[in-house]
Structure 1
Amino acid sequence: MTGGAAVKLPDMAYELMETGYHAMLNYQHRDWGKGFSTVTLQIEPRHLNLAGVLHGGVLSGLLDIVCAQSGIYFPDEQVIRRSVTLSLTTTFTGQCSEGLITACGKVRAQGRRIYSASGEVKDAQGNLLAFGEGTFRYRSQDPIPANK
């Protein structure tokens, strides 16, 4: 599940990501499908904390994104499924200040309205920077996934 070439998202998804937090982070989608998501981020000075290392909020944000996205893939490009984060736990295990980092998320359990996912963020050398898990709820107006 580590990314290769950039993945094509539905056009509506790109429109939603042009502003706000997604635009500020400036990450790239690498792989996305049923039950998984992978994004990469080229570390920039704006991603660093006062100590000059990658801010924990960036790592937590990436984990939230890949874990949430791992459960909202829908094969019809005209449909965007959404979810909200109910809980997210993050454990920080390493530091870096530059380079390309990769975040991967995977669904662990899924029901009609709620799903759980885990994720990890690694640096370019494969060192684990953070891992976490979250619980997410599908928004009620969006399509409900069929289990498995």
Structure 2
Amino acid sequence: MLNNQSGTLPDIAYQLMETGYHKVLDYQHHDWGLGFSTLTMQVTAKHLNMAGVIHGGVLTGLLDIACAQSGIYFPDEKIIRRSVTLSLTTTFTGQCNSGVVTATGRVRARGRKIYSASGEVKDEQGNLLAFGEGTFRYRSNATIPAGT
């Protein structure tokens, strides 16, 4: 579990990361708390496109996950929130072919069922590789009790 000053990642999140696309990306949670999420990923050959640089789909996937997770954190580990992506825009601004990339997501607006978040992916030197914004809907089984 990710224990830090911000929060704790529930066991179920780690179980979900061991499946499908999450496993292919092979990212790590770096930090997670109310309204933000940070992921890191070691760039390997499987993340590169035919030109030998990180694939745009990998950058978009990292943005989607970081932005989505920024809105689902809840301090009570017994309450698991999930969301689905309604829209995601991505702008590519740089390239890399090795090292660790960091994706961050931050909630910009939140309603009862929908929230918006923005994010960015940077390389080890802090160069911006991509940025984007997304709109996400809480899944109906992930409603938070009133007054929290």
Asked if TM exceeds 0.5, the reply is yes
Q: Does 1:82 align with 2:82?
A: yes
AA paired with 1:111? G
Q: Distance in 1 between matches of 2:39 and 2:112?
A: 26
AA paired with 1:71? G
Provide the residue aligned with 1:116 in structure 2: 116
| Change in 2 beyond 3 A, CA 1:147/1:90 | farther
Q: Distance in 2 between matches of 1:68 and 1:9?
A: 14
Give, in angstroms, the shift of residue 145 of structure 1.
7.0
Give, in angstroms, the shift of residue 79 of structure 1.
2.2
AA paired with 2:54? L
Provide the residue aligned with 1:102 in structure 2: 102
TM-score, reference length from structure 2: 0.92
Give, in angstroms, the shift of residue 78 of structure 1.
2.2
Structure 1 unaligned segments of length 5 or more: list them: none
Structure 1 runs, 4 residues or longer, greater than 3 Å off: 145-148
Q: Does 1:143 align with 2:139?
A: no
TM-score, reference length from structure 1: 0.92
Provide the residue aligned with 1:10 in structure 2: 10
Structure 2 unaligned segments of length 5 or more: list them: none
The count of corresponding residues between Structure 1 and Structure 2 is 144
| Change in 2 beyond 3 A, CA 1:123/1:147 | farther
Q: Distance in 2 between matches of 1:75 and 1:12?
A: 14
| Change in 2 beyond 3 A, CA 1:77/1:47 | same
Which secondary structure state, in structure 1, belongs to the residue aligned with residue 142 of structure 2?
A: coil
| Change in 2 beyond 3 A, CA 1:11/1:115 | same
Q: Distance in 2 between matches of 1:28 and 1:93?
A: 23
Q: 1:114-137 CA deviation, whole Å, 9 max, x = no partner?
A: 000000000000000000000000
Provide the residue aligned with 1:63 in structure 2: 63
AA paired with 2:138? Y
Q: Do the aligned residues in 1 keep the contact of 2:79 with 2:144 (CA within 8 Å)?
A: no
